[in-house]
């Protein structure tokens, strides 16, 4: 696993890469080249207040909207007072990470269908960004109001090359936290989960997801692989871990992309945000354990299991 120093250096290179439009072409009003590069490392300006995005699912995996005042949060075993921000159906900042590597060439239409449905079902005034990746990563849609999204960025799903999943997650998370407008935040990853080109480790990608202000992560694996297929099953495991460490959930894209998109958007629309003040305000990069509780049976609470304090 990379040290944090090296992970930070990699984030500089990758975010610069994200700021380049694919094939040197730009989209009117959506040029990644016009997007400012955030400082590294990104420090949430709210610190020591921490916003924690939460989604609650019932035993069938369907999102539930509950009385937020029933939440109890423990940081490193100590209960913290809570405030509540971003009511369900308020605007959302959404990042889409879309696999365009050679291994997904048969699933392009399913991806296009799901992405289009998710974006169109977002609450009014939401914003969307999109990163397409194979063996390189490109910011094909900087944060854009949902009503102005030009879906032509999906035309660049070329389905070719290797897969740089962890690098892309790492860089996108850093960019997202620096630029997202709203407290309700979500990231949707559509990929088979395979990675054969990244420079940062899976652990570094997980670390990037556990920062103050990070989004809930929803993953949509692109296959129901037979677990006897070693490579495909490893990809599914990778996707499951990305959802777990990102405090989110996974919904398989096949065989019904429309149904999957509906479940993802229901989760996003029902998300809540609980805010607490860190017990230790030091900017020391230390890891803190989180535990969120509700006095309700037969539910699953999806939120970050840990977070890292900002470093100096």
All domains in the chain, ordered by first residue: 4-42+89-270 (3.40.50.410)
Where the chain has pLDDT below 70, the residues are 1-44, 223-232
pLDDT at 235: 86
DSSP the chain: ---HHHHHHHHHHHHHHHTS-GGG---TT--GGGSPPPPSS---TTTTEEEEEEEEEETTS-EE---GGG-EEEETTEEE--EEES-TTS--EEEEEEE-SGGGGGGHHHHHHHHHHHHHTSPTT-EEEEEEESSSEEEEEEEEEGGG--GGGGGG----S---HHHHHHHHHHHHHHH--SSSEEEEEEE----SS-SS-HHHHHHHHSSTTPPEEEEEES----TTSHHHHHHHHHHHHHHHHTT-EE---SS-HHHHHHHHHHHHHH-EEEEEE-S----B--EEEEEEE-S-SSEEEES-SEEEPPB-
pLDDT tens digits, residue range 169-202?
A: 999 998 999 899 999 999 999 998 989 999 999 9
How far is residue 201's CA from residue 218's CA, in Å, rounded to a whole number? 20
pLDDT tens digits, residue range 60-104?
A: 888 898 899 999 999 999 999 999 998 888 999 999 999 999 878
pLDDT at 224: 54
């Amino acid at each position: 696993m990379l040290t944090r120093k090296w992970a930070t250096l990699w984030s500089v290179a990758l975010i610069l890469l994200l700021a380049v439009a694919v094939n040197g072409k730009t989209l009117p009003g959506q040029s990644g080249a016009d997007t400012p590069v955030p400082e590294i490392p990104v420090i949430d300006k709210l610190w020591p207040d921490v916003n924690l995005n939460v989604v609650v699912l019932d035993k069938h995996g369907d999102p539930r909207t509950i009385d937020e005042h029933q939440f109890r949060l423990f940081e490193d075993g100590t209960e913290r007072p809570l405030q509540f921000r971003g009511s369900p159906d308020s605007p959302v900042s959404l990042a889409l990470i879309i696999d365009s590597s050679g291994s997904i060439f048969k699933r392009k239409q399913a991806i296009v269908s799901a992405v289009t449905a998710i974006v169109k079902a977002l609450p009014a005034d939401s914003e969307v960004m999109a990163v397409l990746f194979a063996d390189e990563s490109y910011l094909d849609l900087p944060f854009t109001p949902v009503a102005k999204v030009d879906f032509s960025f999906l035309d660049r799903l070329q389905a070719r090359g290797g897969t740089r999943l962890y690098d892309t997650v790492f860089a996108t998370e850093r960019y997202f936290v620096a630029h997202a407008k709203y407290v309700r935040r979500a990231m949707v990853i559509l990929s088979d989960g395979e990675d054969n080109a990244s420079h940062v480790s899976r652990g570094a990608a997980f670390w990037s997801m556990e920062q103050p202000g990070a989004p809930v992560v929803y993953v949509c694996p692109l296959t129901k692989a037979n677990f006897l297929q070693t490579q495909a099953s490893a990809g599914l495991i990778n996707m499951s871990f990305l959802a777990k460490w990102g405090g989110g959930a996974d919904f398989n894209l096949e065989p019904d992309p429309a149904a999957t998109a509906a479940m993802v958007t229901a989760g996003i629309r029902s998300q809540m945000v609980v805010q607490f003040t860190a017990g230790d305000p030091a900017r020391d990069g230390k890891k803190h354990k989180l535990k969120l509780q509700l006095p309700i049976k037969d539910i699953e609470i999806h939120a970050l299991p840990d977070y890292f304090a900002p470093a100096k």
